Structure 1
Amino acid sequence: MDHVFQVDVFADPGLPSRAVAQVLETRQEDDSEAEFVLHHNRRRIPLRDDGTLDMETVREWARQDEADLMVIVTEIPRRAGRRVKMVGLHFAEGAAIISLPALGWSNVVKNLRAAMSDSLDALAADKVPGSGDARIEYGEVHEQDSETGRSVYIASPWWRPGRLRLVLGMVRTNEPLAAVTKLSGVLAAAAATGAFGIFYSSIWEMAYALPPWRLSVIAVTVITTMVLWLLAGNRLWERSRQLGSPREAAMYNASTVATLFVAVAALYAVLFAGILLGGLIVIEAGFMSKTIGVEVSLWNYVDIAWLSASMGTVAGALGSNFDSPDDISELTHGRRQAQRFRQRQEDAE
C-alpha cells in the first residue's frame, strides 16, 4: 500500500486514552503498520440527546486535522438489539468506533490493538473484515442500516456471552482499584475502629471462638452493607427512564454494584493486612496464649485481623464517603455519561 493514511484517534479520558497510548507505543515497533500515521487525541466524545455518539462533532474535529480516517475509542457501551457492538465501521465516512468495555476485562491493550488494526485495514481497503465467511478472529460481522452509506459492526460470536463481557469491561473501565485511593477517609475511620482488635483481649477470645465460616459470613455481610451505603448515599442507582430502557439500566447498575464490591473488597483487604501486621508486632504470643488458653499460631492473628477488619468497616467506616464529590462524578458510567449531557447543554448555551 503506497498511500500513507493520516488517522485521527479520538479517545475518552481515563482507561480508553491510556490504552490507546500503549497501542501506539507498540505500533511504533512494527514496520508493517507504517502505512497508517496515528495521531492520538484525548477528548471526551460528546453525546446527542438520545444518548448516541455525536458523530457530527467528531467528524468536524477530523476535518480540521485533515485526517484521512478516524478511529473513536469510547467507554460508552453500544448495542444493536441483543448484540453487543465491539466495533462499528462506517466506510463512507472512513470512521471506526470501538467500544472499549465490549472488549472485556482482560487483555485490553491486546484486544484494542487487534480491533484498531482490523478496522484500519478494512477502511483503507474499503472491504468488510472477514469477507467470505463474515467471521474474524475476535467476533462476527453484521450489516447495519446507516444514513451515510455502507456500515457494519462486529459483535461477539454466539458462543461468547457478550453482555457479561460488556458488564465486566464496564467495571474494568470504571477502574475500581483506583477508587480505593479515593476512599482514604473510609479507610482511616475503619482503621481507627479496627485497631481496637489489637488491644482488647475480649476480641481475641471472640475471634478464637468464631469458626472460619462465621468470619466469612460476617466479612461478606459487612462488605455488602458498605456497598449499599455508598450506593444509596451517593444515589448511584440508575433508573430506566434516565437510560432509555430497563435493560440498559440493569447493565449500568450491574457494573456499578460490581465496581463498588471490588473497591470495598480491596479496601477491606488493605485494612485486614494492616491490622494483621499491627497485631503481629504488638501482641506477644505468650500473653495471647495465656488469655485465650490455647497454644497460639499464625491463624490466631489472622482470625483477630479478620474480625477486627469487619468490626472496623461496619462500626467505623459506615457513614463515611468518598474524599471528594469529584471522585463520585467520575466513578461510574452513569455519572460520566451525565457529565457528557451537562457539557453538551453548556456548549449549546
Structure 2
Amino acid sequence: MADDTPDGVRVLLVSDPGLPTRRAHALRDDLQKYLAEEFRPPVEVHTRTAMLRLRPDDSLDLDDAVQIAREFGHPDVVLLLTELPRLTDGRPLIAEIFPEENVAVISCPTLGAFATRRRILDTLMDCILRMTHPAGPRGPSRFGRSWRHWNDADDAGAHSTLHTGMALGGVRMVLGMVASNEPLKTAPRLSSALAAASATGAFGIFYSSIWAMSTFLSTPRLLSIGALAIGAMILWLILSNVLWDSPKRSSLARVVLLYNLSTVMTLLVCVAALYSALVLLILVGGLIVISPDYMREVIGQEPTFTTYLDIAWLSAAMGVVAGALGSSFDRETNLRSLTHGQRERQRRYTEESEPGSTHQPS
C-alpha cells in the first residue's frame, strides 16, 4: 500500500428490518474488502438491525443510531441503510451526511430496484471516504457515478447531500419502493382471493358457453378483459384495505404521490402473479378434463392449444373478479403493512418492545 494510505477504520452499518437488512448482510464482506483497499489494518465492519425513527415533524431521529454507536465504542463511521424514500427540493435524496454525529443515511429505494448491490456498495464507500477525509480534495472518486451529484456543505458541521435527477431518479425511486414492498412475498397473503378465484375460474372448464364465448372473442378483446379484471381487483384491494395515502400538508404531496404509485405497482405485480397462476391452473385443468372431440362439437371447429388458452384466460378473468370479493372476507390478511406510508407511521408510533424495532447485533 502507499505510504499515504489512511490508518484503520471501524464502520457500523445499521439497517432497517426487512430488505435493507438482507442487503446489508449480503454486501458486508464486499464492503470489508473495499475498505481494506483504502485503509491500513485494522478494518472492521459491524452490522446491526434497527428501525430509523421519524420525529412528528418528519425529520430524522438519529438518537437510536447514536446510542447504538456508543454500544460499539463510538466507531469512526455509522451508516444507516433505510427503506425510507427521501426528497429534498423535489429531487430524490440518495444519501445525507451528518458530520456532528458521524452518521450517513442512505436511502435504498432511491438507488432503484436493479443492480442495487453495486450501487449500495459504491454509495456506502463514497460516504465513508467523505466522512473520514472531511478536508480532503473533492476530485472524482472511483465510487462516484455520473447520474448522482454531491452538494457539499459550505459551513462546518452542515450536511452534505447526494442527489439524483427528478426524471429518471423519480422512476428509479418508485421501482426501488416497489422492491422494498416485496410484492412476490405479499402475494401469498391473498390466499383467500386465490381460493375464491380458483373456485370461480374452474367453472370455465365445465361450462361450454364460456368455451364458445372465448372462441369468438378476438385476442385484443380478451387482453382487455384480463386488464379490466386486474384493474378491478387492484381498485378493490386499495379501497377495502384503505391503502391510498393522502398528504396532511402540501409539502408532502410529492412524496405521498410516490407512495401511492409504489402501492399501485406493487399490487399490480401481486395481482398479475395471481392471474398468471390462475391461467396456468385452469389451462392444465382444461387440457386434462375437456375432450378435444367434445369441444369440437360444442364450438364447431377444431380445437387447438390456443383454444384452451383462451378459455383459461377468460375463466381467470372471471375468477380474479371473484377473488377481489373473496379477499375482503379474509380477516387474517393485513395488506396495510405493504405500503410505505403505513410503515412510515409505524416509525413514529411503534414502541421499542415491538419486534419490528428490536435491535439485532451481528
Q: Does structure 1 retain, via aligned residues, the 8 Å contact 2:192–2:326?
A: no
Q: Does structure 1 retain, via aligned residues, the 8 Å contact 2:112–2:172?
A: yes
In structure 2, which of residues 275, 291, 297 is the aligned counterpart of residue 268 of structure 1? 275
What amino acid sits opposite 2:292 in the alignment? Answer: A
**CA deviation vs aligned residue, 1:70-127 (integer Å, no higher than 9, x gap):** 0000011111111111111233432211000000121121211111122112222225
2:217 counterpart of 1:213: no
SS at match of 2:17: coil
**1:13 matched to which residue of 2?**
17
Q: Does structure 2 retain, via aligned residues, the 8 Å contact 1:129–1:136?
A: no
2:102 counterpart of 1:97: no
> What is the rounded CA distance, in whole Å, between the counterparts of 1:333 and 1:187 in structure 2?
25
In structure 1, which of residues 256, 277, 285 is the aligned counterpart of residue 284 of structure 2? 277
SS at match of 2:310: helix
> What is the rounded CA distance, in whole Å, between the counterparts of 2:58 and 2:306 in structure 1?
53
What amino acid sits opposite 1:103 in the alignment? Answer: L
Q: CA deviation at 1:151?
A: 2.2
2:52 counterpart of 1:45: yes
Q: How does 1:215-254 map to 2 (within 5 A)?
A: 215-241=222-248, 245-254=252-261
Q: Does structure 1 retain, via aligned residues, the 8 Å contact 2:192–2:323?
A: no
**1:32 matched to which residue of 2?**
37
> What is the rounded CA distance, in whole Å, between the counterparts of 1:169 and 1:222 in structure 2?
26
Q: CA deviation at 1:278?
A: 1.3
> What is the rounded CA distance, in whole Å, between the counterparts of 1:233 and 1:131 in structure 2?
53
What amino acid sits opposite 2:88 in the alignment? Answer: A
Instruction: Structure 2 unaligned segments of length 5 or more: list them.
Output: 355-362
**CA deviation vs aligned residue, 1:230-266 (integer Å, no higher than 9, x gap):** 1010111111117852222212111111111111111
Q: Does structure 2 retain, via aligned residues, the 8 Å contact 1:129–1:141?
A: no
Q: Does structure 1 retain, via aligned residues, the 8 Å contact 2:236–2:324?
A: no
TM-score of the superposition, structure 1-length normalised? 0.90
Compared CA separation, residues 217 and 114, structure 1 to 2 (3 A): same
Q: Does structure 1 retain, via aligned residues, the 8 Å contact 2:95–2:106?
A: yes
**1:151 matched to which residue of 2?**
159
Q: Does structure 2 retain, via aligned residues, the 8 Å contact 1:192–1:316?
A: no
**CA deviation vs aligned residue, 1:52-75 (integer Å, no higher than 9, x gap):** 221123112212211221000001
Q: CA deviation at 1:272?
A: 1.0
2:63 counterpart of 1:56: yes
Q: Does structure 2 retain, via aligned residues, the 8 Å contact 1:75–1:99?
A: yes
Compared CA separation, residues 331 and 324, structure 1 to 2 (3 A): farther
**2:120 matched to which residue of 1?**
112
Q: How much is the aligned-residue C-alpha RMSD, in angstroms? A: 2.6
What amino acid sits opposite 2:8 in the alignment? Answer: V
Bigger CA drift: 175-184 or 325-334? 325-334
What amino acid sits opposite 2:315 in the alignment? Answer: S
> What is the rounded CA distance, in whole Å, between the counterparts of 1:323 and 1:251 in structure 2?
28
Compared CA separation, residues 79 and 318, structure 1 to 2 (3 A): same
2:182 counterpart of 1:175: yes
Compared CA separation, residues 317 and 84, structure 1 to 2 (3 A): closer
Compared CA separation, residues 260 and 75, structure 1 to 2 (3 A): same
What amino acid sits opposite 1:70 in the alignment? Answer: V
Compared CA separation, residues 185 and 47, structure 1 to 2 (3 A): same
Instruction: Structure 1 unaligned segments of length 5 or more: list them.
Output: none
How many residues align? The count is: 344
> What is the rounded CA distance, in whole Å, between the counterparts of 2:150 and 2:341 in structure 1?
28
> What is the rounded CA distance, in whole Å, between the counterparts of 2:15 and 2:247 in structure 1?
27
**2:360 matched to which residue of 1?**
none
**Fraction of identical pairs, as percent:** 38
Bigger CA drift: 6-15 or 313-322? 313-322
Compared CA separation, residues 235 and 144, structure 1 to 2 (3 A): farther
> What is the rounded CA distance, in whole Å, between the counterparts of 2:306 and 2:353 in structure 1?
58
Q: How does 1:310-325 map to 2 (within 5 A)?
A: 310-321=317-328
Compared CA separation, residues 331 and 243, structure 1 to 2 (3 A): farther
SS at match of 1:112: helix
Q: Does structure 2 retain, via aligned residues, the 8 Å contact 1:6–1:68?
A: yes
**1:256 matched to which residue of 2?**
263
Q: Does structure 2 retain, via aligned residues, the 8 Å contact 1:194–1:275?
A: yes
SS at match of 1:76: coil
2:348 counterpart of 1:341: yes
Q: Does structure 2 retain, via aligned residues, the 8 Å contact 1:122–1:129?
A: no
What amino acid sits opposite 2:26 in the alignment? Answer: Q
TM-score of the superposition, structure 2-length normalised? 0.87
Q: Does structure 2 retain, via aligned residues, the 8 Å contact 1:16–1:100?
A: yes
Q: Does structure 2 retain, via aligned residues, the 8 Å contact 1:47–1:344?
A: no
> What is the rounded CA distance, in whole Å, between the counterparts of 1:127 and 1:202 in structure 2?
77
> What is the rounded CA distance, in whole Å, between the counterparts of 2:330 and 2:108 in structure 1?
28
